[in-house]
């Protein structure tokens, strides 16, 4: 084996393997005259297809997009409400690909995609650190516990 032989093999390998490859279809260019009416149903269908397209190639992105559906605001603006900055950062990386996909699917070149962080305190899990706090949380889930506590004369410690 010599370096010349190895170099020849390396040069020959791409040529022989390219004949076995199947060419991927070209993405349809976005026509700036597209201006079809955008509906929430159309958005939901396009978003479902986009989720399936990224499921195997990018599981992290799939997790985010599958849990955060875009909503139509106005005639052409799609708003995705996120829970934290990390999700926004991940979607910002993919914004152009996502936007292009949606423009092609919805046949609207003027579509705008925006993200908003909207964390609701009621979504946060309640944490109980003291015994009394734990009992209050349990009472919220099962108010009959107070009867149980009184009937058996139980104390909180």
Q: Is the pTM of this model over 0.85?
A: no
- Quick: pLDDT tens for 5-48: 766 666 665 544 443 333 334 577 888 888 999 999 999 999 99
Which pLDDT tens digit goes with each residue over 117-126?
987 666 667 7
pLDDT band for position 67 (cuts 50, 70, 90): very high
Give dist(CA 99, CA 109) in Å, integer.
9
Place of tokens 């929430």: 40
Q: Which residue has the higher pLDDT, 89 or 127?
A: 89
In CATH terms, the fold of domain 33-122 is GMP Synthetase; Chain A, domain 3 (3.30.300)
Query: Among 122, 104, 10, 8, which residue's Cα sits nearest to residue 50?
Result: 104
Res 113 pLDDT > 90: yes
* CATH 3.30.300.180 domain extents, the chain: 33-122
Nearest CA to 106 out of 77, 64, 146 is that of: 77
pLDDT digits (tens, 9 = 90+) for 90-106: 999 999 999 999 999 99
So what's the pLDDT on residue 4? 66
Q: How far apart are CA 60 and CA 90, in angstroms?
A: 8
């Amino acid at each position: 084996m010599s370096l010349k032989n190895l170099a020849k093999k390396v040069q020959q390998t791409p040529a022989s393997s390219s004949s076995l490859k199947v060419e991927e279809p070209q993405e349809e260019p976005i026509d700036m005259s597209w201006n079809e009416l955008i509906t929430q149903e159309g958005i939901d269908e396009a978003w479902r297809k986009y989720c399936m397209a990224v499921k195997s190639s990018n599981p992290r992105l799939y997790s985010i997009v599958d849990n955060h559906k875009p909503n139509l605001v106005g005639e052409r603006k799609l708003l995705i409400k996120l829970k934290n900055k990390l999700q926004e950062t991940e979607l910002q990386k993919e914004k152009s690909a996502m936007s292009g996909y949606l423009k092609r699917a919805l046949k609207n070149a003027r579509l705008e995609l925006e993200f908003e962080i909207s964390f609701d305190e009621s979504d946060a899990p309640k944490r109980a650190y003291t015994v009394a706090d734990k009992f209050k949380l349990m009472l919220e889930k099962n108010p009959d516990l107070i009867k149980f506590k009184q009937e058996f004369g139980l104390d909180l410690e």
